[in-house]
Chain A
Amino acid sequence: MPDLSRPLQECLEAMDEQRNLQDVLHRYPADRNELITLLRVSVDLGGLGAPTADPAFRLRARNRMLAAAADRQQRRRWRPRMALPRPVLRLVLAGGCVAALMVASLTAAVASGNSLPGDPLYAVKLGVERAQLATSFDPGARARLQLHFADIRLDEAQRLFAMGRVQDGVRVMNQYDTAVMQFNRSIATSALDTRTANDLSRFMDDREARADASLKQIAGSLAANGDRETAAVVSRTQAHVDQTLRGSKRDLQARSGSQSGDHQPKPAGGSQ
């Protein structure tokens, strides 16, 4: 059987569009008769078609459809968000989610401020500290932050000891010691100008005095409660921190002195 798919389709399209069928058939003289036979069958098939719908039903269904559309339109007016085009609606929803996430993050960050090790929000607190350090590019500001976070560790240790959580207190005390050493290293490796070095030096004086008082108070309290061993650990930490801070201070003073003439920032040699 020859493939007459294409000529047949051309004939059918000509009939659908009420063009002259003969024009198409002239192009296929060899298949003309076969095509006419197939077209007759197709016309006969058309006779199997459905009758037309009842005009009354046609009108009824049309009115019901329009009533449904009006009802839908009415409901849409009561829900303005549905009136927004879909891309806009998506943008609004996405913006809302981002805003909600930001608010939730900020709330968690603020709420985590007083948290202690073991609290669900403590990880958030440490994460915020790390983020602050990571986004602080000025060496002076970064050193201040490190000392500030060291103070926070000391405060946490003090609260933990007061709550009787001695082991946690000792652990955080070690973290305090580590934080002070990081501050020391940071100063030793940073290029600080005279003014920043002087500012940091004053900042340290203030912190040092308070830290000293806190550590003495913790050690005294532990000793008073009979926990001499832990009191000794705190005293050792105090001694080590003192030594580290003194080293940092010497670095800063040396830098202030050496730069007083030229004001050129230089990294210090680093000492403890």
Chain B
Amino acid sequence: MKTSDDALIRRAQALDPGALAELYDRHFDGIYRYLFTRLRHEADAEDFTEQVFLKMVDSIQRYRPRGVAFSSWLYRIAHNLLVDRYRRAGREAVELSEQVPDGRPHADPATLAQNSEERRRLVGAVRRLTPEQQQVITMRFIDNLNVDEIAQLMRRRPGAIHSMQHRALASLNRFLLEPEPVEARRA
């Protein structure tokens, strides 16, 4: 049976290597995805992921649950690192990329082209959402965070996230059904 985060955290706060490794394994994929989606650069995503877990070791003794899930606390570390990075780079946000790295060794060119077209349209539709809706959609369906985690990260109520999630998906569907202007296809 999986040990609860709370029990693990207590051991990890005493710097127990087994507990730290378990927390790392549980949260590594989510954190990496969250960072990669925003940085769109493998080396940067790796660097930032490593920093998140080093910071976790540094400050885990100061972590107090107080209604904040451990995963939300970790994502907050990742978020703060990104904010620092954007501030230094003078940018406000990172957009989704239309180029998807396809790791499959023998992908069919026609399928790849079709996938690429669908992806381009989807990314275009996501960009037309409000910034908050984009944030919710990205965290919910790309980073695979649950609603409570998103609510804590965005400092909103879960009900507000449910509502934003619904409106964003409905808007995306509407944008995808709209006929695309010729210039946009050429671009």
Do A and B assemble together? yes
Question: Closest chain A residue to B17 by CB distance?
Answer: A66
- In the assembled complex, the Cα of A48 lies from the Cα of B162 at a distance in Å of 21
Whether, in the assembled complex, B24 has its beta carbon less than 8 Å from a beta carbon of chain A, the answer is: yes
- In the assembled complex, the Cα of A96 lies from the Cα of B187 at a distance in Å of 71
Whether, in the assembled complex, B83 has its beta carbon less than 8 Å from a beta carbon of chain A, the answer is: no
- In the assembled complex, the Cα of A97 lies from the Cα of B26 at a distance in Å of 43
Decide if A51 touches B166 in the complex (CB within 8 Å): no
Query: How many interface residues does chain B have, given as a range?
Result: 35 or more
Decide if A8 touches B50 in the complex (CB within 8 Å): no
Decide if A49 touches B122 in the complex (CB within 8 Å): no
Whether, in the assembled complex, B77 has its beta carbon less than 8 Å from a beta carbon of chain A, the answer is: no
Decide if B122 touches A65 in the complex (CB within 8 Å): no
A48-B119, A48-B122, A65-B57 in contact; A41/B169 too (CB < 8 A)? yes
Q: Which A residues from 11 to 67 make CB contacts under 8 A with B?
A: 12, 16, 37-38, 41-42, 44-54, 57-58, 61-62, 64-66
Q: How far is the CB of A50 from chain B (nearest CB, A)?
A: 4
B interface secondary structure, majority:
helix
Q: How far is the CB of A170 from chain B (nearest CB, A)?
A: 63
Q: Which B residues from 27 to 86 make CB contacts under 8 A with A?
A: 28-29, 32-33, 36-37, 42, 45-46, 49-50, 53-54, 56-58, 61
User: Which B residues lie within 8 Å of A57 (CB)?
Assistant: 46
Decide if B172 touches A50 in the complex (CB within 8 Å): no
Question: Which residues of A approach B to under 8 Å, CB–CB?
Answer: 1, 3-6, 8-9, 12, 16, 37-38, 41-42, 44-54, 57-58, 61-62, 64-66, 68-70, 72-73, 76, 86
Decide if B162 touches A53 in the complex (CB within 8 Å): no
- In the assembled complex, the Cα of A131 lies from the Cα of B115 at a distance in Å of 88
Whether, in the assembled complex, B94 has its beta carbon less than 8 Å from a beta carbon of chain A, the answer is: no
- In the assembled complex, the Cα of A50 lies from the Cα of B29 at a distance in Å of 10
Question: Closest chain A residue to B50 by CB distance?
Answer: A61
Decide if B163 touches A5 in the complex (CB within 8 Å): yes
User: Which A residues lie within 8 Å of B57 (CB)?
Assistant: 65, 68-69, 72
A5-B166, A44-B118, A45-B122 in contact; A65/B173 too (CB < 8 A)? no
User: Which A residues lie within 8 Å of B15 (CB)?
Assistant: 69-70, 72-73, 76
User: Which A residues lie within 8 Å of B162 (CB)?
Assistant: 5-6, 8-9
Decide if B173 touches A41 in the complex (CB within 8 Å): yes
User: Which B residues lie within 8 Å of A1 (CB)?
Assistant: 170
B141-171: CB near A (< 8 Å → 1, else 0) gives 1111011000000000001001101100110
11 A-B pairs besides A50-B33, A66-B17 with CB distance below 8 A are A5-B162, A9-B165, A38-B170, A41-B172, A42-B169, A48-B37, A49-B33, A51-B36, A62-B21, A66-B21, A73-B15
User: Which B residues lie within 8 Å of A44 (CB)?
Assistant: 118, 122
Decide if B166 touches A4 in the complex (CB within 8 Å): yes
Decide if B58 touches A41 in the complex (CB within 8 Å): no
Selected from A5, A45, A58, A76, the residue in CB contact (under 8 A) with B141 is A45
